[in-house]
Amino acid sequence: MPIPPEQNTTASSPPPADPPLSSATAPPALREPLPWERAQNETPWTHSLNVLGARIRALTDRIGKKLSHRTLKIGVSARIFHPEVGAKGLRGKTLQYLEESIAHWVMSRDVMVFMIPTVNTNGLLHPSNIRLRDYAKHLDGLVLQGGADVSPQSYSELATRPEWSGDRARDMYELELLHEFIEADKPVLGICRGCQLINVAFGGTLYQDIASDVPAAIAHVNDLYDSNRHTVRFPDGSSLRKLFATQTSPLVNSIHHQAVRDVGRELNVEAVSGEDNIIEAIRYRKAAFVMGLQWHPEFHRAGGVELLDCTPILDSFLRAARETRF
């Protein structure tokens, strides 16, 4: 009887796996086309569109880099000296100027500052087609500097004393300037009078004289000028409270006899006087950055330990200017 062959008791090995498909060996339906294959499949029209798109993207990148590195240009509203009756020389002329400290404070962050003059479209000597909206278009932000009282006429009241009649001509110029920068979505920082003007622009009113209208208030102005100081506090929800979270009793200068009374539309109160609750800062809540400060931050030393260091406010304003110029 023939002996049967020995049966194989070891497990059979699985068949070797197929090698992975490379981009060169994979069937066309299973791999991405190579660049030279894409070029072969492009029509002349498709190829032209792809080249044009690449050039546009490269140009956009270059423009974006230039804009991000371009020096900011900040406009500052002008103070106005009106001619004196019967005076000769410069006192008989209209002068427009800015206080040195405000320019140097803004320039401390290596930005360019331009004083914005009033415009004259129908002057007899030198008419011009330039409008305030042209400044709003070409500048990155606006600072409304301090100065003369806001006229009670600008918030539909009469001056209770002749010396509190304010500067109606400057009001009209700055109200238009403020409107144009807000319409252009550019940031605005109002200082002292500028804070009051922002409030009036949105329908608010002012105390014509704090000492007369609020007898219990502390003295917000005296002969010490910028050495007159008081504390401020930041209400719940204030952006300044978040900005100065570590400040327990911030101290600011006080150089104003007028102040915000009725708060304008869509404005938030950002700070109040610690002693008497007089409003010290406001912010328009429908814009990226439109803020008014009753104190003068340009008179506060950067990094100082006594007065509130206001460079964070300046940095926030300039950050908004960079973000809104694109």
- Contact (CB, 8 A) for 253 and 192: no
Q: Which pLDDT does position 40 carry in this prediction? A: 63
Partners of 283 in beta bridges:
268, 291
| Residue 192 among the catalytic residues | yes
**251-281 pLDDT, tens per residue?**
999 999 999 999 999 999 999 999 999 999 9
- Looking at every residue in the chain, the average pLDDT score rounds to 88
- Contact (CB, 8 A) for 288 and 296: no
- Answer whether residue 87 is part of any domain: yes
Length of the chain: 326
Does 49 or 150 have the greater pLDDT score?
Answer: 150
User: Whole-model pTM?
Assistant: 0.79
- Contact (CB, 8 A) for 201 and 208: no
**190-227 pLDDT, tens per residue?**
999 999 999 999 999 999 999 999 999 999 999 999 99
Angstrom CA distances, 86 to 81, 91, 124, 261, 292, stand at 15, 9, 21, 38, 37
Q: DSSP state, 90? A: G
Q: Which pLDDT does position 60 carry in this prediction? A: 59
Catalytic residue among 192, 195, 220, 256: 192
DSSP track, 272-299: EETTT--EEEEEETTSSSEEEESS-GGG
- Answer whether residue 42 is part of any domain: no
- Answer whether residue 12 is part of any domain: no
**The domain that contains 219 carries what CATH number?**
3.40.50.880
Does 254 or 61 have the greater pLDDT score?
Answer: 254
Give the C-alpha separation, 131 to 134, whole Å: 5
> 106: which residues sit within 8 A by CB, 6+ positions away?
74, 76, 113, 143, 314
pLDDT band at 125 (very low <50, low <70, confident <90, very high): confident
Q: Which two tokens stand for residue 133?
A: 């909206």
Catalytic residue among 256, 280, 298, 310: 298
The total of structural domains in the chain comes to 1
**Number of helices and strands (H, E) in the chain?**
9, 13
Least confident of 14-28, 114-128, 176-190: 14-28
Per-position b or e across 6-16, b if 16+ CB within 10 A of its CB: eeeeeeeeeee
Instruction: Tell me the CB-side half-sphere exposure of residue 158, using CA atoms within 13 A.
Output: 1
Instruction: Tell me the CB-side half-sphere exposure of residue 84, using CA atoms within 13 A.
Output: 6
Interval 290-319 mean pLDDT: 94
- pLDDT exceeds 60 at position 151: yes
- Answer whether residue 150 is part of any domain: yes
- Answer whether residue 46 is part of any domain: no
Q: Which pLDDT does position 157 carry in this prediction? A: 98
Give the residue numbers spanning the domain of 91.
Answer: 70-323
- Answer whether residue 79 is part of any domain: yes
- Answer whether residue 201 is part of any domain: yes
pLDDT band at 11 (very low <50, low <70, confident <90, very high): very low
Give the C-alpha separation, 52 to 162, whole Å: 68
- pLDDT exceeds 90 at position 1: no
Q: Which pLDDT does position 8 carry in this prediction? A: 46
Catalytic residue among 195, 296, 300, 310: 296
